[in-house]
Amino acid sequence: MKDSVRESLSYWGLYGKMLRVKKEFEPQFIPFGNHKHQYFLYYEPKNPASDKVIMWVHGGGWNAGTPQIFDFVGQCAAKNGYRFVSIGYRLSPKYKYPCQIEDVCAGYKAAVEFLTANGVDIGRIVVSGPSAGAHLASILCYSKGIQEEFSVDVSNVIGFIGVGGPYIFSGKQSLSVRLLLNQLFAKGYDRTLGEPYSLMEKSHIPMLLIQSKHDGLIEYSCAEHFYEKAKSLGMECELYAVADQKNTHSWYTAGMFLETREKNQSLHKFFSWIEDIR
């Protein structure tokens, strides 16, 4: 069976599992703009196991998803002892890029201010995201031009984890990705201005790229090219190939957070990498 078909058939099982998640933590809702999607959720674990804070940018093809829909990711992180921030942003096709990265930068800055005001140490931040969120989070971390334009300070970021991200727009693409990119960018817009591969500059931030060779939506070579450019710039980078049986796009970018570290190798890699990073 083709991986794209496996991806399409996986949705009902994934949604069913999402609905059965027990809500152990009640996040704080913090708006940072006037639009309904300009907010972040903050999750405080009962017994923090680390002084590292995870800043998360949700996926959804740039045209769907909210931090509230992906509440189960925050529940998983808090359950594992991490303070967790889930950042929302305006969606395509109504809102074209760069609205999304503008919101992510604004949400990141608002979250830093909020955490600082509440006595949380923001000296060790890990930025992460799946799929479209990996695209946006990687630009936040590795584009100095974007950081300067939106006055974002990433000096306290100690790591980036991208899960199933579309980092490069050239080369082979699925029909779904082509359609999503057409919704994201206005006609005639120079897409290199929103392409992580083109925007990447040398950075102090090490990266972990989690990608599946059986994604069904994003080509594995997408992460390979991003990894190779990072290495050529002298950056610390690791490319991890998903080894779990449920290895289609939605199952490893979102579904892994519905499982435990003991049962899901990708989830274990995600948290163990954060634990080991200095």
User: Domain map of the chain by residue range?
Assistant: 3-276
* Residue 111, pLDDT above cutoff 90: yes
Query: Which pLDDT band holds residue 83 (cuts at 50, 70, 90)?
Result: very high
* Residue 101, pLDDT above cutoff 80: yes
Which amino acid is residue 31, in one-letter code? P
* Residue 8, pLDDT above cutoff 80: no
pLDDT of residue 275: 97
pTM for this one?
Answer: 0.96
Contacts of 145-154 with CB under 8 Å at 24 or more apart are 145/199, 146/101, 146/105, 146/199, 147/105, 150/101, 150/102, 150/105, 150/106, 150/109, 151/109, 152/105, 152/108, 152/109, 153/112, 154/127, 154/203, 154/205
Mean pLDDT, rounded, of the chain = 95
pLDDT of residue 21: 83
* Residue 233, pLDDT above cutoff 80: yes
* Residue 1, pLDDT above cutoff 70: no
CA–CA dist 38, 29 (Å, integer): 11
What fold, for 3-276?
Rossmann fold (3.40.50)
Per-residue pLDDT tens over the stretch 31-69: 999 999 999 999 999 989 999 999 999 999 999 999 999
Residue 93, preceding peptide bond in cis (omega within 30° of 0): yes
Summarize the confidence of residues 82-108 as an average pLDDT.
98
pLDDT of residue 159: 98
* Residue 13, pLDDT above cutoff 80: no
Query: Which pLDDT band holds residue 93 (cuts at 50, 70, 90)?
Result: very high
Per-residue pLDDT tens over the stretch 121-173: 999 999 999 999 999 999 999 999 999 999 999 999 999 999 999 999 988 88
What is the percent of the chain where pLDDT is above 90? 88
